[in-house]
Chains A and B, each alone.
Chain A
Amino acid sequence: MSALQIKKGSNKHSAYNLRPNFSDVSEKHTLAVVVDNEAGVLARVIGLFSGRGYNIDSLTVAEIDHAGHRSRITICTTGTPQVIEQIKAQLGRIVPVHQVHDLTVEGPSVERELALLKVEGDGDKRVEALRLADIFRANAVDSTLTSFVFEITGTPEKIDAFADLLRPLGLTEVARTGVAALSRGL
């Protein structure tokens, strides 16, 4: 048998290549996962994503019900419809997971993210930064003679837009919380 010529990274016809026969268009989804607030629960969720090769675009977690020991994890992820379905099913079978909601398909939802952005500079750039902050309804939460820290809340796209505009004006540091999301209405 002649030497095999397998291209690096080739997974053509591999049984492990699970790309769907239905759709290979990637979609962004926001999932809300209600879990028992116990040791290791976040590691289980993250381990699921890394172990099975799923994407995490952002992830936020905090306790939402102290008496009931419940936390809510909001995960933004990207994948084909089949992968998204797999992620939901896999999350659902983690024992301390109570509910998995796909906010992207379960009707309208609100998504908000908080970011802190540090801008360094003086003169016109400093004035322009303040003016942009006003337009974006960002607050200056710290100030020196040569810097501001702005606080902004909004959709990830709004924060992206604000950061893009601040970049030429001396943006030096950004801290973002990741998305928190709730469904609209009752």
Chain B
Amino acid sequence: MTRQMTGAKMVVQSLKDQGVNVVFGYPGGAVLPIYDEIFQQNDIKHVLVRHEQGAVHAAEGYARSTGKVGVALVTSGPGATNAVTGLTDALMDSIPIVVLSGQVPTFMIGNDAFQEADTVGITRPCTKHNWLVRDTDNLSATLHEAFHVASTGRPGPVLVDLPKDVQFASGTYTPKRDVSVSHYQPQVKGDMEEITELVAAMEKAKRPVFYTGGGVINSGKAASQLLRELVDATGFPITSTLMGLGAYPASGDNWLGMLGMHGLYEANMAMHDCDLMINIGARFDDRITGVVDAFSPKSIKAHIDIDPSSINKVIKADIPIVGDVAHVLEDILKVWKARGRKTDQASVAKWQGQISDWRKVDCLAFKQSGKIIKPQYALQRLEALTKDMDRYVCTEVGQHQMWAAQFLGFEDPNRWMTSGGLGTMGYGIPASIGAQMAHPDSLVINVAGEASWLMNMQEMGTAMQFRLPVKQFIMNNERLGMVRQWQELLHGERYSHSWSESLPDFVKLAEAFGCKGIRCSDPDDLDDAIREMLAYDGPVIFDCLVEKHENCFPMIPSGAAHNKMLMGEASTKGAIKEGGAVMV
């Protein structure tokens, strides 16, 4: 079936064909025809953000909490350039989103027209792929291809640039099913020889560990189920990156907690001392490996990744497996079962004993002081009061993000939205809006620091307008906490510009937006205050005044190996050496 229609109508029709029901956007001159079409239909809900960066992060929050493709719509020029941070964020974290940008008419491109920017040029390095549509006849096919590329293989952001004359002109609409199959078809099945080699290594392993990442979440719910089956059947311990939290339940017997720079002692020690490391959908990020030369020196390393460029990029893989996590896990389970479900149970039990000893170190211990709320305590209470709820958690970036990863437990995938790779301050509020749009009846909390939160606080207006009861849990230390921590450890306690001065009164700010503000500074009041936040039917800005100088531990100092963790205040002096200081 082909039909004649305008380019603008095609945009809306393509989105419907793709099953999109929410678009986050901001209008402007170059997308007016599309907005006119949006006005004349009811299938797709448009969420008006307050800044285009918010639109893209909201689309990310939507995508991550649903596993579907998120969609953002922005105008040309500044609309598109404001989307760049969100696109880069989605690229680093492999989040499938489609950004539609308006463009000046084709005959004006290159003339420095009003609100013109070379959008495909600017976004080329921060998208998985992008397109400039020059002909209305190609528009719908391009959009369907865009959804295919965004969601296939290693997911990522794509952008389609739509000149205004292409939106006005009429052309032939190509439905999704008629679009010729794209040549872009990444390999999903792993090589059976490599898989068999991995199973053989698993049978012999004395000190195995699963190291999982965002690839498990991206592979879909089936991947998490298969992972749970494999972990529980083998009894091997499992740790995860920041991106992969929730793929294996935090309450599971074999769960070690998060690994990495601010990961748990037992997780990092297990990584360092293991003899078989099974990386599933993670990418040996520098926050994970620490110094590469001393990374897990005694282990055989298997690496399962759908992106061949991730393999051998940082760490040499002894058993490389290119494929989709769910497909590969299914084959691993099949082969392992067929070969008799063997593991070296005695050795693995001894290894679990060693891990229990590491757990006794209690690396997340902190000193609770009388009348000041410790940020760790705030999160412990938040966890205790919300863990049984239908809960989605977003964060901003910094100390609070690491504490949230340490102290909140995730039982399911797609429940945790945080900016991992790019570390984008200002991610959390719009992401919480996206997650709440997707799950209107669930509890959505944004765990924030006051500095990050201010970066996109305009989006509270969006939350109010669309009646999205997002809970903004701000742990306010009046500091750029992580910057301050690094200055303490690395720059002679010279706290250059790392405090938040002239902060707004967050309770009054909440009132100004028309939502509820709660302030809490006394640990004794905290539970009641959190309950009040949870009970309120609407957005809440919770100003939780916490200890100002708390540092986030444990910490692998830059330039050190996994077994050289800092555990607390006493051990930090001179901990970062010259070599480590040059790193971020």
Contacts and interface: CB of A to CB of B under 8 A. Distances in A.
A38 to B, nearest CB: 9
A14 B184 contact: no
B292 to A, nearest CB: 6
A83 to B, nearest CB: 10
Contact of B314 (A11, A18, A47): A18
B125 A89 contact: no
B228 to A, nearest CB: 30
B583 A14 contact: yes
A12 B125 CA distance: 28
Contact of A13 (B293, B307, B489): B293
B309 A47 contact: no
Interface string A1-15: 101111000111111
A15 B289 contact: yes
A43 B121 contact: yes
Interface string A76-108: 000000100110011011111010000000000
B312 A6 contact: no
A18 B309 contact: no
Contacts of B308: 89, 92-93
Interface stretch (B337-345, B357-365, B367-375, B572-580): B572-580
Contacts of A39: 132
Interface in A16-31: 16-18, 20-22
- What size tier do the contact residues of chain A reach? 20 to 34
B309 A86 contact: yes
Which applies to chain A's interface (DSSP): helix, strand, loop or mixed?
loop
Interface in B97-126: 120-121, 124-125
Contacts of A6: 578, 581-582
Contacts of B183: 98
Given A1-B573, A93-B307, A16 B286 contact: yes
Contacts of B578: 4-6, 10, 12
Contact of B311 (A17, A18, A47, A89): A89
B579 A14 contact: yes
Interface in B156-212: 183-184
Contacts of A4: 490, 578, 581
A82 B312 contact: yes
Contact of A93 (B120, B309, B489, B579): B309
A40 interface: yes
Given A1-B573, A40-B120, A13 B309 contact: no
A11 B316 contact: no
B309 A95 contact: no
B67 interface: no
A82 B314 CA distance: 9
A15 B309 contact: no
A63 B491 CA distance: 55
A51 interface: yes
B125 A92 contact: no
Contacts of A18: 292, 313-314
Interface in B547-584: 558-559, 573-574, 578-583
Contact of A40 (B124, B311, B316, B492): B124
A125 interface: no
> Among A18, A89, A90, which residue has the most Cβ atoms of chain B within 10 A?
A89
A15 B316 contact: no
Given A6-B581, A13-B579, A15-B289, A22 B316 contact: yes
B149 interface: yes
B464 interface: no
Contacts of A10: 578-579, 582
Interface in B285-313: 286, 289-293, 307-309, 311-313
B221 interface: no
B182 to A, nearest CB: 8
Contacts of B184: 95
Nearest to A21: B316
A93 B322 CA distance: 13
A17 B582 CA distance: 11
Contacts of A126: none
A112 interface: no
B128 interface: yes
A86 B311 CA distance: 9
Nearest to A36: B183
B129 interface: yes
Interface in A89-143: 89-90, 92-96, 98
B92 to A, nearest CB: 13
Given A15-B286, A15-B558, A21 B313 contact: no
Given A6-B578, A82-B316, 20 more contacts: A1-B489, A4-B578, A4-B581, A11-B582, A13-B580, A14-B583, A15-B290, A15-B583, A16-B286, A18-B314, A20-B316, A21-B316, A40-B121, A40-B132, A44-B124, A86-B312, A90-B309, A93-B308, A93-B309, A96-B129
**Ranked 8 nearest A-B pairs via Cβ:** A15-B286, A89-B309, A13-B579, A95-B129, A89-B308, A12-B579, A13-B559, A90-B309
28 contacts: A1-B493, A4-B490, A4-B578, A4-B581, A6-B582, A11-B582, A13-B291, A15-B286, A15-B292, A15-B583, A16-B286, A18-B292, A18-B314, A21-B293, A40-B124, A44-B124, A47-B125, A82-B316, A85-B312, A86-B312, A86-B313, A89-B308, A89-B311, A90-B309, A92-B308, A93-B153, A95-B149, A98-B183
